[in-house]
Homo-oligomer: A and B are copies of this chain.
Amino acid sequence: MSTPDPMSGVIPPVCTPLSPDYEVDTSSLIRLVEHLLDGGVDGLFVLGSSSEAAFLSDRHRRTVLDTVIGHVAGQVPVLAGVIDMTAPRVVDHVATALDAGADAIVATAPFYTRTHPAEIAVHFRTIATRAGIPVYAYDLPVSVHTKLGADLLLELAAEGVLAGLKDSSGDDGGLRKVILGRRDRDLSRFAVLTGSELTVDSALWMGADGVVPGLGNVDPHGYVRLYKAARAGDWEAARREQERLFRLFDLVNAGGPRMGRGSSALGAFKAALHLRGIIAYPTMALPQIALDADEIAVVGKHLADAALI
């Protein structure tokens, strides 16, 4: 299938369930996909940051692609992350994604290396030439240590290099610049998706097309309600749903200062999925620190407050 023009709606970044021996738990992954489809999502994003892509070997990544794309079987588009340092490495992941049947790919700017806008442009052009399917830029300065500027994004959109943006920068002024810029430049097929799961109502209000919410793993139904309310023009309902999800999001702090913020957040998502009976184990990829029983109990408390268990 192909992705809509532009891609829109709720497209959760799918967590990657692991077995206790750190293999991809494909049964749990299929249950998670079912859970998300049951929630009414519009697409799935695999192998992104919330999928622990940085912690998955190429073999694990391939297993994820095959499992999800095989099970989804065209019900919704599957976007595949191709997270790696620079274009020559990314294009190998693109080849795998194409072989597995992904509908679109999602790539960051170069990282590890210091970079320059002229180099970022060559990077995306190189990737798009190889891909032949829609390419979404993934703006995630907390990981990539570069902010993608609106002018560069729109130039690459106009060239046909980029099909859209997943903006996880938290810079809503920058997001609006892209939204207004595509309107001015008549680039309506360029998708603008926010990854800021706590301000989805306002992003949609500004004109974004959809959202890629990590918390959508835990409560996809909530994000779909939020999105549908916004699309129906019932902004009050959208805000109430967003505020409810905002409070639920506090579970990401379950792991305290003894671990990184990534371990705490992804560990909490996985603990929640485990407590909800969707995945078999809350195992985190190494070298992340696992939540302990007390920390998992905090996650459970949040779920109970939200009537999710």
Q: Which of A118, A126, A258 has the most CB of B within 10 A?
A: A118
So how many copies of this chain end up in the complex?
4
Contact with B along A153-177 (1 / 0, CB 8 A): 0000000000000000011110011
- Interface SS of chain A: helix, strand, loop or mixed? helix
Whether A176 pairs with B199 at a CB distance below 8 angstroms is yes
Whether B88 pairs with A56 at a CB distance below 8 angstroms is yes
Kindly specify which of A2-10, A32-40, A63-71, A79-87 makes contact with the partner chain.
Answer: A79-87
In the complex, chain A residues 91-146 whose Cβ is within 8 Å of any chain B Cβ: 91-92, 110-116, 118-123, 126, 142-145
Q: Do A115 and B260 contact each other (CB < 8 Å), given the known contacts A54-B86, A198-B173, A202-B206?
A: yes
Q: Which of B85, B89, B119, B288 contacts A288 (CB 8 A)?
A: B119
**Is A239 close to B, CB under 8 A?**
yes
Whether A262 pairs with B114 at a CB distance below 8 angstroms is yes
Q: CA A88 – CA B122 in complex, angstroms?
A: 29
Q: Which of B89, B116, B120, B170 contacts A55 (CB 8 A)?
A: B89
Whether A113 pairs with B260 at a CB distance below 8 angstroms is yes
Q: CA A297 – CA B249 in complex, angstroms?
A: 43
Whether A180 pairs with B247 at a CB distance below 8 angstroms is yes
Q: Do A286 and B122 contact each other (CB < 8 Å), given the known contacts A55-B88, A173-B170, A260-B115?
A: yes
Q: Which of A113, A261, A285 has the most CB of B within 10 A?
A: A113
Whether B83 pairs with A60 at a CB distance below 8 angstroms is no
Whether B287 pairs with A119 at a CB distance below 8 angstroms is yes
Q: Which of B120, B126, B205 contacts A202 (CB 8 A)?
A: B205
A residues engaging B (CB < 8 A)? Answer: 22, 49, 54-60, 83, 85-89, 91-92, 110-116, 118-123, 126, 142-145, 170-173, 176-177, 180, 196, 198-199, 201-202, 205-206, 235, 239, 243, 246-247, 258-263, 285-289
A-B contact pairs, 7 of them (CB 8 A): A88-B286, A112-B112, A114-B260, A118-B258, A119-B288, A170-B172, A173-B196
